[in-house]
Amino acid sequence: MRILYITHKPIYPIIDGGCVAMNNFLKCLLKAEVKVKHICISTNKHPFDFSLHPLEYQSSINIDNHYIDTDVTHTRGFFGLFQSGSYNINRFHCKNLQKRIGHELEQHEYDCVILESLFTTTYIDSIRSKSNSTIFIRTHNIEHKITSDLAKNASGAKRVYLSKLSKDLKVYEIEALNKADGILSISKNDTEQLKNLGIMTPIKNIGVAIPIKEIQNNYDSSGIFHLGSMNWQPNIEAVKRLINIFPEIKKSAPLCEVHIAGSAENSKLKSHPKNQIYFDGFVDDPNEFAINKGILVSPITSGSGVRIKILEMMSIGIPIITTTLGASGINHHDSNALVIADNDTEIIDATLKLIKNKNIRKEVGQNAIEYIRKNHNIESISKEIIEFIQGT
């Protein structure tokens, strides 16, 4: 089988959950012995560096990069309101890349084209005109829902602006997803929401492959931390919420520290050593960082889809506290693989309970490893992907 795989960003840095999902998706394709041509869009936010790709991809996958300036400015944002379609998506459209994709399809035959995320669907009509390949869209989120949630948490002109973007994006999302031959969803929740939106395209819920790593978590550590890209608004909101409730946690655990790690550190979020709050920025090895920091607290209030970084932390046995929204796509009711806490009081109480009890931290962490081993192994997911593509 020969696949053209188009992504809206490169597959690194590893701290970015979306990049992790794409990285592991490529591992699944390699596991199935598929021949892959990978065209990735790079931006100022996500630059391209071939040397950062895993060695197995450099030698086995044909990788091609195309840069697009997707930066949002006040001027672009204003005029984007008057463009047809969705401004969120239009930022990723480039005539040169469209020609490049068309040329690739004219020169080589592909069994299918896989478009990663809604942002690459801007090329779907062009692909149809150049090739008879089946087209699959791999969705990480219900994209318009993310913008809608951000609008609800905003106020004034920003709320009006985000609401307009959300409405435009919803219309585009429904139209684009109905043009595909198949949709690869990464969570059951998203699959149900897509069907409720009126998506008629066949949808297959296939979880993200998460390898179990040979690494031992330090359950003696009772600090708290957050890990995730700090150029994604839902993460920024979660961190701000964590910082706001941290003083209440300190009242009962005065020695506790909170560490925040993530690329593109927000300029308004600074370390406060006196308050035991530390922003560590980008870390080269998130796993090594996490195993010595204690409990992952992720009070997510907006967004959609599965939090890949939470799954990754579960795979190394990190005890996790998150909201119902943060645990979307994870069957936490039966597995006891993480702790759910939605309001501030619940988050504070759950955090203190884990801080004060090593045995509970270890129990939650070990349950998490078993959950990942059972539900996210690369062999079964690789098989599901190929069976869905071949059967559609």
Asked if 69 and 44 touch (Cβ cutoff 8 Å), the reply is: yes
Q: Report CA torsion sign: 86, 325, 177, 18.
A: positive
CA distances from residue 170 to 95, 143, 198, 220, 303 in whole angstroms, order as listed: 24, 8, 12, 46, 14
Query: How far apart (Å, rounded) are the C-alpha atoms in residues 237 and 242?
Result: 9
pLDDT digits (tens, 9 = 90+) for 1-47: 999 999 999 887 565 667 888 888 998 998 999 999 999 999 998 88
Write down the residue that tokens 């969803």 correspond to: 185
Could you tell me which residues are beta bridge partners of residue 272? 277
Pick the closest to residue 143 from 303, 20, 8, 327 (CA basis): 303
For residue 387, the Cα-to-chain-centroid distance in whole angstroms is 24
Say what the alpha-carbon torsion angle 357, 360, 364, 367 is, to the nearest 10 degrees: 150
pLDDT digits (tens, 9 = 90+) for 69-96: 998 877 777 766 677 789 889 999 999 9
Asked if 347 and 377 touch (Cβ cutoff 8 Å), the reply is: no
Query: How far apart (Å, rounded) are the C-alpha atoms in residues 157 and 134?
Result: 42
pLDDT digits (tens, 9 = 90+) for 352-374: 999 999 999 999 999 999 999 99
Q: Which pLDDT score, from 0 to 100, does residue 268 have?
A: 64
Tokens of 51: 């040397």
Q: Which pLDDT score, from 0 to 100, does residue 347 have?
A: 97
Q: Which pLDDT score, from 0 to 100, does residue 49 have?
A: 86
Query: How far apart (Å, rounded) are the C-alpha atoms in residues 332 and 342?
Result: 14
Q: Which pLDDT score, from 0 to 100, does residue 217 have?
A: 92
Q: Which pLDDT score, from 0 to 100, does residue 73 have?
A: 77
Query: How far apart (Å, rounded) are the C-alpha atoms in residues 229 and 307?
Result: 11
> DSSP of 129-159, one letter per residue?
HH---EEEEEESS-HHHHHHHHHHT--HHHH
Asked if 324 and 342 touch (Cβ cutoff 8 Å), the reply is: yes
Query: How far apart (Å, rounded) are the C-alpha atoms in residues 22 and 140?
Result: 10
Give the residues of the chain that fall short of pLDDT 70.
13-17, 79-81, 264-269, 304-305, 332-334
Write down the residue that tokens 């520290």 correspond to: 257
Could you tell me which residues are beta bridge partners of residue 182? 136
Tell me, what DSSP letter sits at residue 380?
H
* Residues 6+ positions from 148 with CB-CB distance below 8 Å: 162, 163, 166, 170
Pick the closest to residue 308 from 6, 111, 18 (CA basis): 18
Q: Which pLDDT score, from 0 to 100, does residue 334 have?
A: 65
- Ordered structural domains, the chain, with CATH: 2-209+377-391 (3.40.50.2000), 224-375 (3.40.50.2000)
pTM for the model: 0.81
Query: How far apart (Å, rounded) are the C-alpha atoms in residues 350 and 322?
Result: 10
